[in-house]
Amino acid sequence: MILHSTKAGFSLIELVLVMLIIGILSVISLPKVSTLIEDVREKAVVERLNEDLNYLRNMAISYHDTTWLVVNSANNWYGLFIGPNSGSRVLIPDPQTGDSDTLFLDIAYPGVEISSVSFAAGELSFNWWGTPSAGGTIVLNSSRTITVIAETGMSHETP
């Protein structure tokens, strides 16, 4: 009587081929993933800036005081302030974290840079009616633009 033995499993060649295919797919998809991550960070900054601008406008109306968005594109940060003029304004606690600090994009959102700001001296103020001192734009990574409408103070991303 002859006994037949069957062994289940994969051969070394099959395992190497599967590993090779996984490696090739990883190399192909890696640049797309990094682009996706950068795009998500940019979108997060756009949403946060829009929220902060809306917060400043509402705060100016609620407190009957002048609020300020100060943007420093050279050092890649912005801050929210309250006070009647640039000499007596103070930092507003961040509405998301509660910290009285400026938002450094290099730390909070690596890879996102403030390319340009069209406000005079990088400062935008809202009076106690919620009207901005001017309209203008903030450009991130030379690709996403946030526009503040001069008449209403509303902000949005423009394509």
Higher-scoring residue by pLDDT: 35, 109? 109
Q: Mind listing the pLDDT tens digit for each residue in 26-73?
A: 888 777 777 788 889 999 999 999 999 999 999 999 999 999 999 999
Q: What is the mean pLDDT of residues 104-111?
A: 92
Ramachandran area for residue 60 (φ above 0: left; ψ -120 to 50: alpha; else beta): alpha
Work out the pLDDT band at 159, boundaries 50, 70, 90: confident
Greatest CA separation for the chain: 102
Domain ranges of the chain: 16-158
> At residue 3, does pLDDT exceed 80?
no
The single residue listed with the structure tokens 């943007």 is: 71
Write down the architecture of domain 16-158 according to CATH. Answer: 3-Layer(bab) Sandwich (3.55)
- pTM for this prediction: 0.77
